[in-house]
Amino acid sequence: MGDAAPADRRIIIDSLGVGIATGVYGVSFGAIATTSGLSVLQACVVSLLVFTGASQFALIGVIAAGGSPFAGALTATLLGSRNMFYGLSIAGRLKTRGWRKAAAAHVVIDESTAMSITRDTDRQARLGFYCTGWSVFVLWNLTTLVGAAAGQSIGDPRTYGLDAAVGAAFLALLWPRLTTWPVRLIALTGAAIALGLVPFAAAGVPIIAGGAIAVLLGMRLQVDA
């Protein structure tokens, strides 16, 4: 027990640090969401229910480009499907049942998974997962509200050049994940397909097509591995 307490404190401190660093980025989503046409309430509901940054920015990107909410939701779902693989990889360590499994599934994100799978014991894995996941969730939603309220007072995003902010924010979230050549190839393939369809397809369709191909390639990569 004497050795466990300092180790647990380190995990908690590291997890909260990741939670704060990630959670404050929710202010960007809130601001961009309301300048793209969502209300403050809608922006907050998206953060509460979707809660995965890449999917949220993709949803806003489709809507801001003139696509339908359905197309945006489909794109967000495709991008969020990677969390399913995260959940499968850590389910054995979390050992949750019933409603606790549903609650844990809601905070399966890149950061909580990373802070869980590197631990030596299942107990430490659960500690890292929950401390990271829920600290990100709480702060992300609070800062979404702050950003949404601020964004609503800005007005037309094109006045400040913020119409390009969705793509920039999405790239900022994506870039740190491109750590291996197979992952980079998947991202480049999806981007190339999306860009190639822009002149010919309705708003939102290129992102859906590129995202779908990227997900299928990612699934194939998982199977081959």
61-86, pLDDT tens digit by residue? 778 777 777 877 877 887 777 788 77
Does residue 188 share a domain with residue 99?
no
Q: Is 118 helix (H, G, I), strand (E, B) or coil?
A: coil
Does residue 29 share a domain with residue 116?
yes
Section 109-129 average pLDDT: 87
166-191 pLDDT per residue, tens = 455 555 555 555 667 777 787 788 77
Q: Quick one: tokens of 213? A: 């191909």
Cα–Cα nearest to 35, from 120, 153, 123: 153
The CA distance from 94 to 127, in Å, is 9
Does residue 136 share a domain with residue 30?
yes
Q: What are phi and psi of 171, to 5 degrees?
A: -65, -40
Does residue 185 share a domain with residue 109?
no
Q: What is the pLDDT of residue 224?
A: 47
Rg (CA), the chain: 18
Domain boundaries, position 210: 179-225
Residue reference for tokens 């309301």:
34
Q: What is the pLDDT of residue 223?
A: 40
pTM attached to this predicted model = 0.71
Q: What is the pLDDT of residue 143?
A: 92
Long-range CB pairs of 138-141, under 8 A, 24+ apart, other chains included = 138/19, 138/23, 139/19, 139/20, 139/22, 139/23, 139/24, 139/26, 140/22, 140/23, 140/25, 140/26, 140/29, 140/47, 140/51, 140/53, 141/26, 141/44, 141/47, 141/48, 141/51
Residue type, 160: Y
Does residue 153 share a domain with residue 68?
yes
The CA distance from 110 to 96, in Å, is 19
Does residue 173 share a domain with residue 192?
no
Does residue 134 share a domain with residue 27?
yes
Does residue 80 share a domain with residue 44?
yes
Number of domains in the chain: 2
